[in-house]
């Protein structure tokens, strides 16, 4: 029996989404894997978890419980113990950090797992850190020849200059550089509304990105590393109805609460465009030095696909795109998990 610790929750703004993702991961785990769930509370305590952390709550949270720790001693690789008594609870073969956002998807947990010598699902420290930070994601993919939109980085409390406003043009999207699940993201259609949007983004991160609007279909492609080291791209998903939502884009409410957005999978594109999106997704994956998996999101504009962002631990909820694009590519959810774990163990 192979034992897998599933980490969920965490100290990021995406705590609840992580709980829902992990719930779904555990529900689809193939029977040859034994799961040891570990919840991370919003203040960062690791506790013995449950296999159904989403319960019935729309936005679940990890509750206090028996505190557990992973041994950082590589000679005790994968050992999990009760912090209060020191009792060993189990020893795991790999960790699946189903964590989104800061302190989970940004290289910090990955660094801890490296130190502990435990194999894990998902990209390593560098790719996770760069993929989390939208400024660095775009620097790296642009260097690999991938088109990105016009942007200005607001580091600290400064305002856009007149020439920056002219360069960007309205509307703009304002977002935390390190964020996810659309939390803190606003569409700004008048410069009067910019300040409030920047303030909102600053609640999530000290660095804010202001981007020119991208027009066209919002498309997501899954990338997956197989156990033999080859990299595969899924069929693309095209999101429908994001612009008609109350938020006017694929915002948090639209994503998780309103359930109005549907996806066409595979996206109804020519073979040529599909191949181009897949090739670009793999280029982005490699540009960030990703391993294991990533979801690469584009806008298909009149001038061709433009990168929006790379997610190194994409959503795994029942309605999330990553498992769905793989199912449409011939790999169902349990097979996807099996591939991810076997790649991690290799
Ligand atoms: N430059 C842009 N042009 C058009 N829509 C955008 C742009 N940037 C973000 N959006 C919209 O906002 C959503 C969330 O932004 P995104 O960059 O994906 O952040 P997150 O990491 O929170 O998902 C996107 O799915 C898209 O609907
Ligand atoms: Mg996104």
3-state SS, one letter per residue, for 191-253: HHHHHHHHHHHHCCCCEEEEEECCCCEEEEEEEEECCCCCEEECCCEEEECCCCCCCCCCCHH
- What pLDDT, on a 0 to 100 scale, did the predictor assign at position 166? 97
Backbone φ and ψ for 285, nearest 5 degrees, come out as -55, -45
Please choose from 138, 175, 298 the residue to mutate so as to test ligand 1's pocket, defined by most ligand atoms within 8 A of CB.
175
Residue 145 has pLDDT above 80, yes or no: yes
Q: Atom 9 (ligand 1): residue with closest C-alpha? A: 173
CA angle 342, 338, 221 (to 5 degrees): 100
Pocket of ligand 1 from Cβ distances under 6 Å: 149, 173, 175, 179-182, 185, 211, 213-214, 218, 242, 249-250, 297, 308-309
CA-closest residue to ligand 1 atom 16: 182
Closest residue CA from atom 25 of ligand 1: 250
Task: Report yes or no: 323 and 237 within 8 Å, Cβ to Cβ.
Answer: no
CA of 251 to the centre of ligand 1 (A): 8
Whether the bond between 318 and the residue before it is cis, its omega within 30 degrees of 0, is no
Higher pLDDT among residues 172 and 248, named by residue: 172
Tell me the pLDDT tens digit for each residue of 3-13: 999 999 999 98
Arithmetic mean of pLDDT, 164-191? 95
Alpha carbon of 252 to ligand 2 centroid (Å): 10
The pLDDT value recorded for residue 306 is 98
For 50-73, what is each residue's pLDDT tens digit?
999 998 788 999 999 999 999 999
pLDDT tops 90 at residue 243: no
pLDDT at 248: 87
Q: What percent of the chain has pLDDT over 70?
A: 100
224-228 contacts at long range (C-beta below 8 A, 24 or more positions apart): 224/292, 224/293, 224/326, 224/331, 224/336, 224/339, 224/340, 225/290, 225/291, 225/292, 225/293, 225/343, 226/339, 226/343, 227/339, 227/342, 227/343, 227/345, 227/346
Q: For residue 244, give every residue at least 6 positions away whose Cβ sits within 8 Å of its Cβ, in sequence order, or none.
A: 260
Q: What is the pLDDT of residue 337?
A: 98
Task: For 73-91, write each residue's pLDDT tens digit.
Answer: 999 999 999 999 999 999 9
Shortest-distance atom of ligand 1 to CA 183: 22
Per-residue confidence band for 241, with pLDDT thresholds at 50, 70 and 90: confident
pLDDT score for 36 = 98
Ligand 2 midpoint to CA 162 (Å): 28
pLDDT tens-digit profile of 13-43? 899 999 999 999 999 999 999 999 999 999 9
Domains of the chain, start order: 2-120 (3.40.50.20), 130-148+215-345 (3.30.470.20), 151-212 (3.30.1490.20)
| Token digits of residue 319 | 């309605």
Give the model's pLDDT for residue 180: 86
Instruction: Please report how the helices 125-132 and 134-143 are oriented relative to each other, as an axis angle in degrees rounded to 10.
Output: 110
Q: What percent of the chain has pLDDT over 90?
A: 89
pLDDT on residue 260 = 76
247's CB contacts (< 8 A; 6+ apart) are 187, 253, 254
Residue 280 pLDDT greater than 90, yes or no: yes
Confidence of residue 233 (pLDDT cuts 50, 70, 90): very high
pLDDT band, residue 272 (cuts 50/70/90): very high
pLDDT at residue 156 tops 90: no
Burial of 203: CB neighbours in 10 Å, binned 0-12, 13-18, 19+: exposed
pLDDT of residue 158: 84
- pLDDT at residue 246 in the model: 84
Peptide bond into 171 cis (omega under 30): yes
């Amino acid at each position: 029996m192979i034992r897998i610790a599933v980490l969920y929750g965490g100290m990021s703004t995406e705590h609840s989404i992580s709980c829902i993702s992990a719930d779904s991961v555990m529900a689809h785990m193939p029977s040859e894997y034994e799961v040891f769930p570990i919840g991370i509370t919003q203040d960062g305590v690791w506790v013995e978890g449950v296999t159904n952390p989403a319960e019935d709550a729309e936005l679940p949270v990890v509750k206090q419980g028996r505190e557990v720790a992973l041994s950082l001693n590589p000679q005790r690789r994968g050992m999990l113990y009760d912090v209060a008594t020191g009792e060993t609870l189990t020893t795991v073969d790999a960790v699946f950090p189903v964590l989104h956002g800061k302190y989970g998807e940004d290289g910090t947990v990955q660094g801890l797992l490296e130190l502990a010598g435990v194999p894990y699902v998902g990209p390593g420290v560098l790719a996770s850190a760069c993929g989390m930070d939208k400024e660095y994601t775009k620097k790296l993919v642009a260097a690999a020849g991938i088109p990105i939109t016009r942007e200005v980085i607001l580091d600290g409390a400064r305002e856009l200059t007149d020439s920056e406003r002219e360069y960007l043009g309205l509307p703009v999207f304002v977002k935390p550089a390190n964020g996810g699940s659309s939390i803190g993201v606003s569409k700004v259609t008048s410069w009067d509304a910019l300040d409030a949007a920047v303030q909102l983004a600053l609640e999530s991160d000290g660095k804010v990105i202001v981007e020119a609007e991208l027009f066209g279909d919002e498309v997501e492609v899954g990338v997956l590393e197989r156990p033999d080291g080859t990299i595969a791209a899924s069929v693309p998903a095209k999101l429908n109805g994001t612009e008609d939502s109350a938020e006017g884009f694929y915002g948090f409410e639209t994503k998780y609460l309103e359930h109005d957005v549907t996806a066409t999978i595979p996206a109804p594109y020519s073979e040529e465009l599909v191949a181009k999106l897949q090739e670009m997704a793999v280029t982005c994956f490699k540009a960030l030095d990703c391993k294991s998996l990533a979801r690469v999101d584009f806008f298909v504009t009149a001038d061709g696909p433009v990168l929006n962002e790379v997610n190194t631990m994409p959503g795994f909820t029942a309605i999330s795109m990553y498992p769905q694009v793989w199912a449409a590519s011939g790999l169902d959810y349990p097979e996807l998990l099996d591939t991810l774990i076997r790649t991690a163990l290799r």
